[in-house]
Amino acid sequence: MSHALEAENLQLWRGERQVLRGVGFSLAGGECLQVRGANGAGKTTLLRAACGLLYPEAGRILWDGTDVRADPAAYHARLIYIGHEPPLKPDLSALENLRFWIGVRQPVERSVMQAALERVGADRWSTRAVRTLSAGQRRRVALAALALLAVPLWLLDEPTTNLDAEGQQLVGNLIEEQLVRGGLVVAAGHHELPVSAARVRRLELPLE
Amino acid sequence: MSSARTAAVQPVAPHLDASGWPASPVGTPALAAARLVLLRDLTLAFRRRGELIQPLAFFAIVTTLFPLAVSPELSRLREIAPGVLWVAALLAALLALEFLFRDDAHDGTLEQYSLSGQSLAWLLLAKTAAHWLLTGMPLSLIAPLAAEALGVSGTGLAGVVASVAVGTVALSLIGSISAALTLGIRRSGVLLSLLTLPLSLPVLIFGARATELAIRGLPFTAPLELLAALAVLGITLAPLAAAAAVRISLE
């Protein structure tokens, strides 16, 4: 039995402005939802609502058929959300960041973290303070979290931003593997994801 | 891509459910998660010691200015010592509060904590504990030195250490609520003080009273126990309130 994520008729206001107007989608295991739209169309808002950080005024989000608000902690344990700024501490090294970030959720060995950093091509700077890394290098360190945490749902905001061509292909490969495992991916962004089209569903968010 | 990088990393997957995903929602036990949060905050604090020293320097400066401004006479200084020590400790603790959640809110760490599947209140309690270890504990260690300079001696010093140590636990916890409430505000310093001061007045009153009794050589356990009661109340309720406030600030 594979997992499923559904959103029904989401309506969400930020102050006076209605950002989401009846947005809905349904996603099954092995599928990737690519959310597109102009700047300010509500891509980030939709992602944050999908992971339960924002509560929509109307509509609901269902994980395996149950409302995610029924047991937020159980739902959160099934997902990883990476915002457009990777949640890394500038004063800690890549390894320390991963240890504290992922370790709070799942116990991780140093060798496993090192392997994950190698996978995303970040092993050469794994002990340097993140402060000294470029935006693209930081993005790669954040991608290592995807290789470390075994959760079925990935919510990624602009996962390919700041990455070179090889890095973008890497994002595609990571997503592809997650889909093969039967996982679900929701990705927002302007760039086309390098993922085979058969697995991708699209959601276009209109502006106003 | 090099062939080394294409080798798949096996994700950590201890117990799998029917669809091949970890069945237990959270892998790390709550205690280990709190220990990591505590360790992380201590590591970060020692990477930038400047912020660490600020409240201590403030406390030292204020308490050493009094003998110069009032009178070098030890008998007079001993009289005002409890008030001076406690007002300085309270303001120093307030000064440190601004750093409690601010950085973690900015870089998305609090967001990740609230999405970790762990209890957010529990993780915030660990953060507050780290905050006390970095401000309250050093304050209670330098307080007897400042008290000595104000003419306090003997058992009075023990009273100063005990009351500041217990009182700052309560202050850190009360402060965690207002620090969480003011997260969404850009320049929150003044509002943070306004919110925290009225709630921390009982700590000031009982703390100064315990110190005063100790200096006079009288038993000071009664006000100290009231301080401890405030600290215990804080430990049980403050993290819940702070977690609710953090969730609102993330919206």
pTM: 0.91
Best CA proximity match to B224, nearest among B238, B233, B235, B213 = B213
Q: At A80, phi and psi to the nearest 5?
A: -130, 135
Would the CB atoms of B11 and A177 count as touching at under 8 Å?
no
ipTM over 0.90: yes
> How high is the pLDDT of residue B15?
56
> How high is the pLDDT of residue A46?
93
Work out the mean pLDDT of chain A and round it to a whole number: 91
Would the CB atoms of B12 and A78 count as touching at under 8 Å?
no
> How high is the pLDDT of residue A192?
83
> Beta-carbon neighbour count of residue B251 at 10 Å?
11
Token reading at B187 = 């320049």
Q: Hey, CA dihedral for B147, B152, B157, B163, is it positive or negative?
A: negative
User: How far away is chain A from the Cα of B180, in angstroms, using its nearest Cα?
Assistant: 16
DSSP SS3 for B175: helix
Would the CB atoms of B115 and A96 count as touching at under 8 Å?
no
Reading phi first (left if > 0) and then psi (alpha if -120 to 50, else beta), residue A162 is in: left
B87-118 residue pLDDT tens: 999 999 998 898 899 889 989 999 999 999 89
Tell me the β-bridge partners of A200: A32
Top pLDDT among A187 and B12 is at A187
> How high is the pLDDT of residue B31?
94
Mean pLDDT of the region A150-167: 92
AA letter at B65: L
Would the CB atoms of B111 and A83 count as touching at under 8 Å?
yes
User: How far away is chain A from the Cα of B40, in angstroms, using its nearest Cα?
Assistant: 7
| Tally of helices (H runs) and strands (E runs) in chain B | 11, 0
Say if CB A153 and CB A78 are below 8 A apart. Answer: yes
Say if CB A107 and CB B32 are below 8 A apart. Answer: yes
CA separation, residue A10 to residues A46, A75, A202 (Å): 9, 18, 17
DSSP SS3 for B135: coil
The pLDDT profile of chain B, 251 residues, written as one tens digit per residue, is 444 444 445 554 445 665 667 665 558 899 999 999 999 999 999 998 888 899 999 999 999 999 899 888 888 899 999 999 999 999 999 988 988 998 899 899 999 999 998 999 999 999 999 999 999 999 999 999 999 999 888 888 999 999 999 999 999 999 999 999 999 887 778 889 899 999 999 999 999 999 999 999 999 999 999 999 999 999 999 999 999 999 999 88
**CB proximity A33 to B under 8 Å:** no
Of A2, A77, A101, nearest to B19 by CB-CB distance is A2
**Which chain B residue has its CA at the smallest distance from A167's CA?**
B1
> How high is the pLDDT of residue A208?
65
Contacts of A147 in chain B (CB under 8 A): 9, 11
